[in-house]
Amino acid sequence: MAYLKWGGKKWYPQKPQPYKADINELMKPLSEKVNKGNVWGSVIMNVEKGATPVPSPTPSITPTPTPTPTPVPSFDPDAQAFFNAITGAGGSLTTTEQDATNQLVLDLKGYGLWSKMIGLWPVVGATAVEHQFNLADPTQYNLTFNGTWTHSTTKVAPGANGYADTGINPRTIQFDVAGSIHYSMYIVETKSSGGYDMGGYDSVGGDFAMLSSFLGNNTAYIGVGAGFITVGNGGDTKKNWLMTNTGGTSYIYRDGAALTSGAKTISVGPNLNMYISCNNNNGSAGDFSARDWALASIGYGMNATEASNYNTAVVTFQTALGRQN
């Protein structure tokens, strides 16, 4: 019988036996192994001819979970353009302000009012950087603030001589050709100063203006160049005011409800920019209102249903920002 000579002894093949050593025993050098009568035979000799090796089990690998990306807010394209203009100028808005502004855009579009906005200044953010931009189109008709303004997240305060140039020229826009116009302001204080909340005048186009308190006598006023109408304001200017003319009739709305109406024809308009918080009288700022406000707009006219819907959209916006009247 064949044998193996090792360590001064003859070693003969054994009958294969189960391997009993644990992994630590197996990994020891041969000189340190405990000879239990089957270690050498199992390692060197006890491999049956033709036996199929048993594969070592493959360890399970726990996959590393893929991080879930934080979803990027999806805004209406017009709202996003407004946000981009603000950040591009070095300003910023909170998430709440962005969400409220985006919803305002969606609501105005849902009510079919978006196309009526030429200038829409929502006063979101905390500084003049944010407050200057026109939500309807931030590439034009952005406000230029003059005088002593105070800016905050809740309102803009013009002080005694503050006013904002809208860049909107009624003669250029041709409201008379369109046959409709509106002015609106969300005024956040009661003050019977008698000044213009918005206006522009020259001798050709006449007076394009809105006043929530006319000459300090608690009378609201709308002018469309060829004439004006007035109505008692109830002694309270702290309202959402909309003054509009469609089809040759002027209307004054307060918080979505019509106060009065009268037949007035829109003129060619003054050939100068309209100012907010005062009147642009032939190029000179005057008749300052000094009333604080939190949204303003100029654009095309609205009917009664549209005026009510506009009020709903604006109040929803102000409520989302926690600054409703």
Q: What is the mean pLDDT of residues 75-101?
A: 98
Model pLDDT for residues 40-83, shown as the tens digit of each residue: 444 444 444 555 555 556 666 666 777 766 666 799 999 999 99
Tell me the domains of the chain and their CATH numbers.
Answer: 4-45 (no CATH), 94-320 (2.60.120.200)
Of residues 109 and 50, more confidence is placed in: 109
Residue 189 · residue 237 · CB < 8 Å: yes
pLDDT for 39 equals: 43
Q: Alpha-carbon dihedral of residues 298, 304, 310, 316, nearest 10 degrees?
A: 150
| Residue indicated by tokens 């090792």 | 6
What value does the mean pLDDT take over residues 256-261? 97
Instruction: Check residue 194 and give its pLDDT.
Output: 83
Q: What share of the chain is helix, strand, coil (3-state, %, to 5)?
A: 25, 30, 50
pLDDT given for residue 24 in this prediction: 63
Q: How far is the C-alpha of 233 from the C-alpha of 255, rounded, in Å?
A: 12
Q: Over range 298-314, report the average pLDDT.
A: 98
Arithmetic mean of pLDDT, 202-214: 96
Residue 2 scores a pLDDT above 90: no
pLDDT at 215: 73
- Is the pLDDT at 5 greater than 70, yes or no? no
Whole-number mean pLDDT of the chain? 88
Least confident of 5-19, 75-89, 102-116, 129-143: 5-19
What residue type is 102 in one-letter code? N
- Can you spell out the DSSP letters for 101-170? HHHHHHHHHHTT-GGGEEEEE---SSSHHHHT--TT-TTS---EEESS-EE-SS-EE-TTT-EEE----H
Which pLDDT belongs to residue 32?
61
pLDDT for 11 equals 52
Share of the chain above pLDDT 90, in %: 73
pLDDT value at residue 72: 64
pTM exceeding the 0.85 threshold for the entire prediction: no
- What residue ranges in the chain does DSSP mark as E strands? 4-6, 9-11, 117-121, 144-146, 150-151, 156-157, 163-165, 180-187, 198-202, 206-211, 219-224, 228-232, 240-246, 249-254, 257-263, 275-276, 279-281, 284-286, 293-299
Residue 9: band (very low, low, confident or very high) from pLDDT cuts 50, 70, 90: low
pLDDT of residue 42: 41
Task: Check if the beta carbon of residue 199 is closer than 8 Å to that of residue 208.
Answer: yes
- Of the listed ranges 57-61, 225-229, 290-294, the least confidently predicted one is 57-61
Average pLDDT over residues 290-297: 97
